[in-house]
Amino acid sequence: MKQRLIRLLVRQFGHPTGLLGKIAGWIMAARPSNRKRNSWTIELLHIGPDDRVLEIGYGPGLALADAARLVTSGKIVGIDHSHMMFNAATVRNRHAIGEGRMELKNGRVEDIDVLLDPKLFSSFDHIYAVNVAMFWQDLASTLKTLTARLVPSGQIALTFQPRTKGATDKTALRAANDIRDAMKTAGLANVKIETLKDLSPMAVCVIGRKRNAKC
């Protein structure tokens, strides 16, 4: 019975709903490793005050809050398919939303063209996701869709820390290599892998840039 509940709880991290979803959301907001992964990702992006930022799978909105401290005159947009996480992130980031610096959407990344205002097409300087890409059915295809939303030389960052039983640093690096290959397939350039060894197993962040059409 206990193992079954654990399995059901683990599934909630992909799409939190109901009572177990609330527990998963609380864990995502409170777990030190999760907070560290999110803040580290934002640090790697070097976001400026005028930048336009898109997060896919914002969960309880931790990274959004970190980004909001940096983006004072730009725009932050978030997409998450969990209505429960939409509510949690909205409460956490209510001030940035009220000031018009942040806009949250409830939906799937596959529906990005419907969810986002056409004016936001090809307008983001940074797109990122933290422990979300492993839920995408077609990583390379999703990356191509997101790349189309970047300005020339804009960047995509995908952070991942394996949470499965028995996962090691090697597990993280294998995932990083897979993400790197998918980014190259999607047409991203200058792809690099960053590591956060403060966590165990370590977290990885793969960052790629959209090719500048002028080059």
pLDDT digits (tens, 9 = 90+) for 56-92: 999 999 999 999 999 999 999 999 999 999 999 999 9
Please classify residue 14 by burial: count the beta carbons closer than 10 Å to its beta carbon, then call 0-12 exposed, 13-18 middle and 19+ buried.
middle
Render the burial of 15-34: b for 16+ CB within 10 Å, e for the rest.
Answer: bbeeebbeebbeebbeeebb
- CA–CA gap between residue 98 and residue 215 (Å, rounded): 39
Q: What pLDDT, in 10s, does the model give residues 137-179?
A: 999 999 999 999 999 999 999 999 998 889 999 999 999 999 9
Longest CA span, the chain:
60
Higher pLDDT, 187 or 4: 187
Q: In the predicted model, is pLDDT for residue 19 greater than 60?
A: no
Please say if the pLDDT value at position 6 is more than 80.
no
Grouping H, G, I as helix, E, B as strand and the rest as coil, residue 185 is helix
CA distance 160 to 41: 10
- Structure-token pair, residue 21: 């979803």
pTM of full prediction above 0.75: yes
d(CA 77, CA 8): 30
Lowest mean pLDDT: which of 17-21, 27-31, 117-121? 17-21
Q: What share of the chain is helix, strand, coil (3-state, %, to 5)?
A: 45, 25, 30
Domain ranges of the chain: 31-210
The model's pLDDT over 97-128, given as tens digits with 9 standing for 90+, comes to 999 999 999 999 999 999 999 988 899 999 99
CATH of 31-210, one of 3.40.50.300, 3.40.50.150, 1.25.40.420, 1.10.8.60: 3.40.50.150
Per-residue model confidence (pLDDT) at position 2: 43
pLDDT at 212: 80
